[in-house]
Structure 1
Amino acid sequence: MMDMVLQQPLYKRLATGDWLYALLIVLTAGYSLKLFGSAMDYYEQLILLGCGAGLVALGWFWKSWRWFFPLAGAVSLAAIALYDHNLARAGQSFGLKFIFSSQSSFMWMCTLFFLATGVYWAGLLARSAWLQRMASGLTWSAAVFALAGLFTRWYESYLIAPDVGRIPVSNLYEVFILFCLITALMYLYYEAKFAVRAVGAFVLLVISAAVGFILWYTFDRQAHEIQPLIPALQSWWMKIHVPANFVGYGAFAMSAMLGVAQLLIQRGILVNRLPPAEVLDEVMYKAIAVGFLFFTIATILGAMWAADAWGGYWSWDPKETWALIVWLNYAAWLHMRLVKGWRGAPLAWWAAGGLLVTSFAFIGVNMFLSGLHSYGTL
């Protein structure tokens, strides 16, 4: 029966809800183009239309996205309405001060991710399906606040000044939030598809570690303050290169934690509380395959951006070099699985160790090495 359904044309497999969601995205994209099209160049208009098409496809592919994305947009629109074109209202309006401003949304995100981590572990150790469902709900809620906060921060940057306005993926503070969001969403998708809710206790650990960095970076370095873009980042390339990059980072981080869980099972630890090792191995493979695809796209886009900005596709800058190391690491991982037929512990160890390589490429280069990408330092 399922094979017969999949053989039908796409338009016959779509329900009324799919078409209503697509209509919402088309109308929103069209309205945005009408409002801001005159301020966009040709490439930015293409990015907007491409994002609209991508959001429709994602909603058709992943049904949960059809309520998640509009809900995050509605929260952000509530913040925009409360601002009423006046950034000073962030400290005057109760709703903005405690719920809807970008900083408030991010603090809710941090709190909910921490809570979700604890509840996932409680559900795992107690074998409580109810606690695990609650943890999933907390993770979804955190993701809503993360995406809404990014949308709101984008609007806030334009309230400061038109020439300050930009997409909020330009510094470590913003991309760590993006990392938390993407990693959580990828996990939630695989959690539902493969019924691996118990492994959320492990995946949320790496997200909580990123949340800890966000909180330190906020209160110790005041990184939450919106700053103008430096000239090197004033490009439409950033809108596509950075998100694609962090789909890769999020997938690789999730696969590392799946590898850790798989290794524990193989040693008889939590074996009756976690999904079978074979299931985790399959999810780990799919996550790395998706991450590798997007990381490859991001690397190509980065080379094209470099040629546009600096006149050359590749300069062996430390960031570029470590991006290549990450790419080669997961290319070799996929080769060993698909061509050599490796399974089990070797690939699990490799995926877990890959987190160290990815982490250094993500943040270590910014901390210890200098080069053309030194604008991302701590």
Structure 2
Amino acid sequence: MELALNQPAPLWKRLSWFDWLFAVIIATGSLFALSRFGDFMDIYEKAILLAAIPAMALFGWFWKPFRVLFLVSAGVALFAISQYQGSLARMEEAFFLKYLISSQAAIMWMCALFGLATLSYWAGLLARSGFLLKTGSTLTWSAVAMGLIGLMVRWYESYLIGADIGHIPVSNLYEVFVLFCLITAMMYLYYEARYQTRQMGAFVLLVISAAVGFILWYSLDRGAQEIQPLVPALKSWWMKLHVPANFIGYGGFSIAAMLGTGYLLAQRGILASRLPKLEVIDDMMYKSIAIGFAFFTISTILGAMWAAEAWGGYWSWDPKETWALIVWLNYAAWLHIRLVKGLRGPMLAWWAVAGLFITTFAFIGVNMFLSGLHSYGTL
């Protein structure tokens, strides 16, 4: 009887009116998009859009803060889209577009906010200031919102250039680095709330700030913010599934590496009194790798299926594919050692840190130093 009383109520009984309102808004928006743009979609893209309705609703029910983040970002993005009035030239004429919520302006604000968040987290960690740590969290949430707005508006801008050019903004290094920042920050914010460990933001935001540095260099030096037509191989609905899943993997692995860095410092008595207990950091590191590995596995399978459609074979030992396999084997071994052998402690922390270098080479090093079927991603 006592066990029965302690059982949680079914999910549908635990939902608030705001949960249901969020689901209705998601469904209404998706169905409107289907009615408005369905003629430009194939059957697979329509299926993805319809499947996104329950997926987004469930995600919002599972992680409550996501509801507000999504609704605010979508609302501001829709306002930005209305300001264009069908002309890309309005980007330089309308005040809000020019300085705040065009795609490039919003992404630059995202970069600035992530930089300020990094400084706030470190200041809060070193000064033991709860206020500064909370400020870091607020700035990180704000940066994520601006990044989401930037990507959504960029998607619309690509169609203003031309219906044949329009595409989801996950097609080149500039766009996926923005996506990496957003996914990594959102994953961290979830763990931050779950474990009540704002102190670890000082470490995780370092890797996001490194990505921000790349975005700024890539924009200012290479003009990468300019929207370009897709190469033929990328004109596929597979991209909408493969790329986001891949970067959830990269985000999880990056968080684990920075948590591993914090673990190693605390284990040596550096900042130990300011950081969470080693057991807490270890558990966060494990769960980050587990989630990242699950999505990276899904991404690899989707990538093989996409390759079969685009190039006629599931696997060709292209450098990008080979390094993806190396990344997968690295984290498969890490999880095996932890789960089967029960190993904990500094060795796995060092391994997680080393894994970031392997992942980084697979992410960007291949594009810089090797060539192959994925050469459309070169610098």
Task: Give me the TM-score of the superposition, normalised by structure 2.
Answer: 0.98
Q: In the aligned structure 2, how far is the partner of 1:75 from the partner of 1:105?
A: 11
Cα distance, 1:10 vs. partner?
A: 1.9
Q: Where do residues 161-310 of structure 1 align in structure 2 (5 Å cutoff)?
A: 161-310=162-311
Q: Deviations over 1:5-35 (max 9, x none)?
A: 6542221121222111111111111111111
Q: Deviations over 1:265-313 (max 9, x none)?
A: 0000001111111101001101100000000000000000000111110
Q: Specify the code of the residue in structure 2 equivalent to 1:258.
A: L
What secondary structure, in the 3-state scheme, does the structure 1 residue paired with 2:313 have? coil
Q: In the aligned structure 1, how far is the partner of 2:9 from the partner of 2:142?
A: 35
For 1:365, the equivalent position in structure 2 comes to 366
Identity %: 65
Q: Specify the code of the residue in structure 1 equivalent to 2:91.
A: A
- Contact 1:80/1:155 (8 A) holds in 2: yes
Cα distance, 1:108 vs. partner?
A: 0.1
Which deviates more from structure 2 when the two are superposed, residues 240-249 or residues 33-42? 33-42
- Contact 1:90/1:101 (8 A) holds in 2: yes
Q: In the aligned structure 2, how far is the partner of 1:2 from the partner of 1:37?
A: 50
Which stretches in structure 1 are left out of the alignment for 5+ residues? none
For 1:116, the equivalent position in structure 2 comes to 117
Q: Specify the code of the residue in structure 2 equivalent to 1:322.
A: W
Cα distance, 1:203 vs. partner?
A: 0.2
Cα distance, 1:235 vs. partner?
A: 0.6
Q: In the aligned structure 2, how far is the partner of 1:15 from the partner of 1:284?
A: 32
- Contact 1:251/1:287 (8 A) holds in 2: yes
- Contact 1:265/1:274 (8 A) holds in 2: yes
Cα distance, 1:52 vs. partner?
A: 1.8
- The answer to whether the aligner puts 1:136 opposite 2:129 as a matched pair is no
Q: Specify the code of the residue in structure 1 equivalent to 2:334.
A: W
Q: 1:4 to 1:365 in 2, by over 3 A?
A: farther
Cα distance, 1:3 vs. partner?
A: 8.2
Q: In the aligned structure 2, how far is the partner of 1:326 from the partner of 1:3?
A: 44
Q: Specify the code of the residue in structure 2 equivalent to 1:370.
A: S
What RMSD in Å do the two structures reach over aligned CA positions? 1.1
Q: Deviations over 1:335-358 (max 9, x none)?
A: 000000011101100001100000
Q: Where do residues 76-91 of structure 1 align in structure 2 (5 Å cutoff)?
A: 76-91=77-92
For 2:332, the equivalent position in structure 1 comes to 331
- Contact 1:5/1:13 (8 A) holds in 2: no
What secondary structure, in the 3-state scheme, does the structure 2 residue paired with 1:121 have? helix
Q: Specify the code of the residue in structure 2 equivalent to 1:105.
A: A
Cα distance, 1:75 vs. partner?
A: 1.4
What secondary structure, in the 3-state scheme, does the structure 1 residue paired with 2:133 have? helix
Q: Deviations over 1:166-202 (max 9, x none)?
A: 0000000000000000000000000000011001000
Q: Specify the code of the residue in structure 2 equivalent to 1:355.
A: L
What secondary structure, in the 3-state scheme, does the structure 2 residue paired with 1:288 have? helix
Q: In the aligned structure 2, how far is the partner of 1:282 from the partner of 1:6?
A: 25
Q: 1:206 to 1:6 in 2, by over 3 A?
A: farther
- Contact 1:120/1:201 (8 A) holds in 2: yes
Q: Deviations over 1:111-148 (max 9, x none)?
A: 00000000100000000001100110000000000011
Which deviates more from structure 2 when the two are superposed, residues 24-33 or residues 248-257? 24-33
Q: Deviations over 1:222-273 (max 9, x none)?
A: 0000000011111110011000000000110010000000000000000111
Which deviates more from structure 2 when the two are superposed, residues 9-18 or residues 167-176? 9-18
Cα distance, 1:4 vs. partner?
A: 4.8
- The answer to whether the aligner puts 1:42 opposite 2:43 as a matched pair is yes
Q: Specify the code of the residue in structure 2 equivalent to 1:330.
A: Y
Q: 1:91 to 1:305 in 2, by over 3 A?
A: same
Task: Give me the TM-score of the superposition, normalised by structure 1.
Answer: 0.98
Q: In the aligned structure 1, how far is the partner of 2:139 from the partner of 2:261?
A: 23
Q: 1:263 to 1:4 in 2, by over 3 A?
A: farther
What secondary structure, in the 3-state scheme, does the structure 2 residue paired with 1:371 have? coil
Q: In the aligned structure 2, how far is the partner of 1:50 from the partner of 1:276?
A: 40
What secondary structure, in the 3-state scheme, does the structure 1 residue paired with 2:270 have? coil
Q: In the aligned structure 2, how far is the partner of 1:110 from the partner of 1:32?
A: 30
Q: In the aligned structure 2, how far is the partner of 1:367 from the partner of 1:360?
A: 9
What secondary structure, in the 3-state scheme, does the structure 2 residue paired with 1:80 have? helix
Q: 1:282 to 1:377 in 2, by over 3 A?
A: same
Q: Where do residues 49-88 of structure 1 align in structure 2 (5 Å cutoff)?
A: 49-88=50-89
Cα distance, 1:47 vs. partner?
A: 0.6
Q: Specify the code of the residue in structure 2 equivalent to 1:275.
A: P
Which stretches in structure 2 are left out of the alignment for 5+ residues? none
- Contact 1:245/1:295 (8 A) holds in 2: yes
- Contact 1:124/1:198 (8 A) holds in 2: yes
Q: Specify the code of the residue in structure 2 equivalent to 1:348.
A: A
Aligned length: 378
